[in-house]
Structure 1
Amino acid sequence: MRTEVVTIRTGSRPTVRDLTAEAERFLAGAGDGLLHVFVPHATAGLAIIETGSGSDDDLLSALNDLLPADDRWRHRHGSPGHGRDHVLPAFVAPYATLPVLGGRLALGTWQSICLVDPNGDNATRQVRFSFLAG
């Protein structure tokens, strides 16, 4: 298995960040197999969604409706409402495994691998790409 960790700057507000280009760079020269993407953080996740058409903003809005950043959360360190960020990985998993064919991601036409980070307290995230040849 080949693996690499990349650092992604997410900034100080909730964001959906497309990681597809980084994943494709990691897979350059790979054959067939599986790409596993993992975010080793308690307040971030990964989603396979369409980007650029408003779906990324829609996802953040839906998460905010489902998990409001208010004072209802028992987990209270960090920014107000930060407890909801710790619940996020139960809804948006911190990992994804995708097929790779001939060194290329086998994504659908409009699919992208996206880091979902609602936590403005962390400006950078680590993402681990691992390739298992098949």
Structure 2
Amino acid sequence: MRSGRFGRVEALVAGPVTQQASGRLIVATPGQGFTDITAAIAGFVHESGIGNGLASVFCRHTSASLTIQENADPDVQTDLLTALDGLAPRHDAYVHGSEGPDDMPAHIRTMVTDSGLVVPVVGGRLALGTWQGIYLIEHRDRPHRREVLLTAMGG
């Protein structure tokens, strides 16, 4: 591989994309907060039989989102929710309010987080870091059923 000013890129694998799998994950959230969906996605990737490639994760909602975050200390999630509350307070003077006071802040929070993620698959496993997990973030106050679409592609 080519070296540049940031160093040499180590090649992990190369080859054609020969396989693809798609699935749907329904996540029942308890209300505002983080729901760890790492194990479900890892299971999907394993069952797909894809050894090396990419896993795409997409949340089909505008008031819930996805993130890759630390999975060791739950205080991180508490602090992240506090930061989101500061960024998009529940009871600000929003014009859109027909779905309740938690809806517009939820849209803002989704806009600044992610509705989709892509994670490398190496050796048949998600190539997450040691302390990383994949979370669905529920931005609404009450429980919801959220749909997450999964695609694994590679060889």
TM-score, length-normalised on structure 1?
A: 0.92
**What is the total number of aligned residue pairs between the two structures?**
133
The answer to whether structure 1 residue 10 and structure 2 residue 29 are counterparts is yes
Give the corresponding residue for 1:31: 51
Equivalence for 1:89: 110
Equivalent runs, 1:36-47 vs 2, <5 Å: 36-47=56-67
What amino acid maps onto 1:129 in structure 2? L
Moved >6 Å (runs of 4+): none
Q: Is the 8 A contact 2:102 2:141 kept in 1?
A: no
State how far apart, in whole Å, the 2-side matches of 1:88 and 1:65 are: 10
**Larger C-alpha radius of gyration, 1 or 2?**
2
Cα deviation, 1:67-118, whole Å, max 9, x if unaligned, reads 1100411110223232111122220010000100011011111011111111
Residue range with higher mean Cα deviation, 75-84 or 32-41: 75-84
Aligned residue runs from structure 1 range 1-134, under 5 A: 1-11=20-30, 13-28=31-46, 29-53=49-73, 54-121=75-142, 123-134=144-155
Contact 2:54–2:118 under 8 Å retained in 1: yes
Q: 1:30 aligns to what SS in structure 2? A: coil
| Secondary structure, counterpart of 1:57 in structure 2 | helix
* Counterpart secondary structure, 2:146: strand
Are the structure 2 counterparts of residues 14 and 61 from structure 1 closer, same or farther at C-alpha, using a change threshold of 3 Å? Answer: same
Contact 1:73/1:81 (8 A) holds in 2: no
Name structure 1 gaps, 5 residues minimum: none
Task: Name the CA distance, whole Å, in 2 between partners of 1:8 and 1:57.
Answer: 20
Q: Distance in 2 between matches of 1:61 and 1:20?
A: 23
Q: Given the superposition, is the C-alpha separation of residues 51 and 79 from structure 1 closer, same or farther in structure 2, using an over 3 Å criterion?
A: farther
Q: Which amino acid aligns with 2:41?
A: A
The answer on whether the counterparts of 1:77 and 1:83 sit within 8 Å (CA) in structure 2 is: no
Q: CA deviation at 1:59?
A: 1.2
Cα distance in structure 2, aligned partners of 1:81 and 1:52:
28
